[in-house]
């Protein structure tokens, strides 16, 4: 069988391109972000403590700092870096306005992604 038969997702280069495009869109809004390749087929864009976007090259998704209507975790996504950056900018303002102690308390932590990045990520 041809090699492309086994490949059903974007290439590593495409995934990193999307992550860096999001990083660039955030920079246009004066929001610093770091790109990290964590696992094959996925990259993380660390925006702020507790606000980390993921991309597989097709979608960009993250956990909102605001709970869902039912009080649970609200996962959200965008298909383009520009749309993701616009919505992440709103979420960035929310988390940046909160005391850091609140964001670092285990009870308030919404995602272990920051720990994953700190321990396992390859800096791109």
pLDDT digits (tens, 9 = 90+) for 59-112: 999 999 888 888 888 999 999 999 999 999 999 999 988 776 666 665 445 555
What is the pTM assigned to this prediction?
Answer: 0.76
Greater pLDDT, 17 or 9? 17
User: Residues 53, 96, 74, 113: what is their CA dihedral angle, to the nearest 10 degrees?
Assistant: 40
pLDDT more than 70, % of the chain? 74
If you ran DSSP here, which 8-state letter would residue 41 be given? T
Locate 55 and state its tokens: 């991309």
How many beta carbons lie within 10 A of that of residue 102, not counting itself?
12
Q: For residues 2-7, give the mean pLDDT.
A: 46
- Both tokens of 14, joined, read 């495409």
């Amino acid at each position: 069988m041809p090699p492309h038969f086994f490949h059903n997702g974007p290439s590593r280069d495409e995934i990193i391109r999307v992550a860096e495009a999001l990083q660039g869109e955030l920079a246009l809004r004066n929001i610093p972000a770091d790109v990290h390749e964590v696992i094959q087929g996925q990259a993380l864009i660390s925006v702020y403590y507790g606000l980390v976007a993921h991309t597989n090259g097709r979608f960009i998704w993250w956990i909102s700092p605001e709970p869902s209507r039912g009080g649970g975790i609200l996962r959200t996504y965008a298909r383009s870096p520009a749309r993701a950056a616009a919505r992440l900018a709103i979420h960035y303002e929310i988390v940046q306005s909160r005391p850091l102690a609140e964001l670092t308390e285990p009870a308030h932590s919404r995602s272990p992604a920051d720990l994953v990045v700190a321990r396992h990520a390859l800096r791109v």
